[in-house]
Amino acid sequence: MEEVTVKVLLLGDEKVGKTTFLSRISGGSGALEGNVPITLLRDIDQPFVFEIRNRRRTYRIEFYDTSCPDNWRLLDPDLVLICYDISQRPSLINMRRVWINEVHSTFQTSDHLPVIVVGLKRDLRSESDPGSIHPQEAYKVSQEMRVDKYVECSAVTGELLKLAFEEICNTASRTKTVTGAQSEGGCVMS
């Protein structure tokens, strides 16, 4: 069976939950659902590697968190995840003002590079807090940024974590196909 390596780069402000997200999914399929203790990954352990298989191939998905690689701009990712904290409006603003521009200015392949927006800390969303971002607003911002997908989850509670991880893995595996992984008609909400 052929093994294919896919590099996934996580971008976003500090403390939006990227490390907790990666730590939770590193616990395997049992950790994707339910509230289980999380052992945080260490930056020196990067890349964080996950293997997925289908009938024809094994995919080695390498996740790189921006807090560790001294110069993430030297990476040549196959997929970029722009992460923000659902409970912190400034992280949504920076996603639009800073991170999508960093992708376009850094990577020469940005015209063909699939980008997924990942809303983290879903468990901290509050209906009464005007700083919390609702899915419709984040989806609209994602469409304006012309990304390929929008997903959200909570790494702490496991809410929608499995679905988000599956969407990321499906997109990652399609990056190595002839048609690529970019969406044809704009942002898709999963």
What distance in Å separates the CA atoms of residue 186 and residue 183, rounded to the nearest whole number? 6
User: What residue ranges define each of the domains in the chain, with the CATH number in brackets?
Assistant: 2-189 (3.40.50.300)
Residue 45 has pLDDT above 80, yes or no: no
Convert the pLDDT of each residue in 74-120 to its tens digit.
888 999 999 999 999 999 999 999 999 989 888 877 678 899 999 99
In this prediction, residues 23-38 reach a mean pLDDT of 63
Return the bridge partners of 118, or none: 83, 151
178 vs 142 pLDDT, higher one: 142
Q: pLDDT averaged over the chain? A: 83
Number of other residues whose CB lies within 10 A of the CB of residue 10: 24
Query: Is the pLDDT reported for residue 28 higher than 70?
Result: no
What does each C-alpha distance from 86 to 101, 102, 143, 175, 187 come to in angstroms? 20, 21, 17, 27, 18
Read off the pTM: 0.87
Residue-wise pLDDT tens digits, 144-189: 999 999 999 998 888 999 899 989 988 888 887 766 656 665 656 6
Element spanning 137, H or E: helix 135-145
Query: Alpha-carbon dihedral of residues 81, 84, 86, 92, nearest 10 degrees?
Result: -120
